A and B are shown apart, each in its own frame.
Chain A
């Protein structure tokens, strides 16, 4: 049962991670030429959001797993 739940969680993480990654990249692309200090911060944060999505996908795939993690 636990294995099945974990399997579903991994699939959800991968699918939605891909969606979030592309949304962040597209939003970053659309905002690229925006001016103003808040938009510069938005760009950094959208970039980090895309990075976070990649890390989530890699963790769900089992590529990146730290010590003490099941």
Chain B
């Protein structure tokens, strides 16, 4: 069996070039399990989104109470989050190309952009002029964007843990299912925001 030497960020060890059959089978199951988790999360978001759309179309004159959302801030904030999806993609691609330094740089960039998005959300909350208790709009807006913000926050922690694990040598360049799942999660968070951005700012 071919053996290659790996050395990056404090990790140095031997690894096999070809993953064994057991790893391949386990990997498929882990990915399928994670996809099921994402589907369950999608159902959670969908429930709130459809409730919001139903309430929105039930009442006359929307939004009630007249809160004004800042489209310029929301647009640039959205692009920041979508950009983080691109940087996360670069991170995984660099891992596949066995470049730990670039992988680490891109994942750090992703974490920074994610934190930037959360900062933008806080700024939006400060200027929106609606409260959780001020009506259907406020309750829907804060519930959905807050829930999404929690996912982004969890994602930042998740990516930080992945980066630390990668630096400690938990993943090799042929066995990196955890990094693939982290990338899937981050893309999922991005895609949910596409929907939320559309229903709150574009409809």
In the complex, the number of residue pairs spanning A and B with C-beta atoms less than 8 Å apart equals 136
- Indicate if the CB atoms of A68 and B67 lie closer than 8 Å: yes
Closest to B63 in A: A68
Closest to B34 in A: A38
Residue in contact with B71 in the complex, picked from A16, A19, A59, CB distance below 8 Å: A59
Give the Cβ gap from A67 to chain B, nearest Cβ, in Å. 5
CA A58 to CA B187, docked complex, whole Å: 21
> Is B73 engaged at the interface, CB distance under 8 Å to the other chain?
yes
CA A37 to CA B188, docked complex, whole Å: 15
Number of A interface residues at 8 Å Cβ cutoff, please give it.
39
Asked whether A60 and B187 contact (CB < 8 A) given A37-B32, A37-B35, the answer is no
- Indicate if the CB atoms of A64 and B86 lie closer than 8 Å: no
CA A53 to CA B180, docked complex, whole Å: 23
Interface extent on B, as a size class?
Answer: 35 or more
Give the Cβ gap from A41 to chain B, nearest Cβ, in Å. 6
CA A9 to CA B67, docked complex, whole Å: 20
- Indicate if the CB atoms of B194 and A52 lie closer than 8 Å: yes
- Indicate if the CB atoms of B32 and A59 lie closer than 8 Å: no
> Is B8 engaged at the interface, CB distance under 8 Å to the other chain?
no
Which secondary structure dominates chain A's binding surface?
Answer: helix
Give the Cβ gap from B15 to chain A, nearest Cβ, in Å. 21
> Is B170 engaged at the interface, CB distance under 8 Å to the other chain?
no
- Indicate if the CB atoms of A59 and B194 lie closer than 8 Å: no
> Is B202 engaged at the interface, CB distance under 8 Å to the other chain?
yes
Give the one of A45, A53, A57 with max B CB within 10 A: A45
- Indicate if the CB atoms of A41 and B76 lie closer than 8 Å: no
CA A34 to CA B154, docked complex, whole Å: 29
- Indicate if the CB atoms of A20 and B72 lie closer than 8 Å: no
- Indicate if the CB atoms of B89 and A27 lie closer than 8 Å: yes
Asked whether A52 and B74 contact (CB < 8 A) given A16-B79, A68-B62, A70-B69, the answer is no
A selection of 28 A-B contacts at a CB cut-off of 8 Å is A6-B72, A9-B75, A12-B79, A17-B82, A20-B83, A24-B82, A24-B85, A36-B31, A38-B35, A45-B184, A46-B187, A48-B190, A49-B194, A52-B190, A52-B191, A52-B193, A53-B82, A56-B76, A57-B75, A59-B74, A59-B197, A60-B76, A64-B202, A65-B201, A68-B67, A68-B69, A69-B68, A70-B71
Which 10 A-B pairs have CB atoms at the shortest separation, nearest pair first? A52-B194, A45-B187, A13-B75, A9-B72, A6-B72, A60-B75, A70-B68, A13-B76, A68-B63, A23-B86
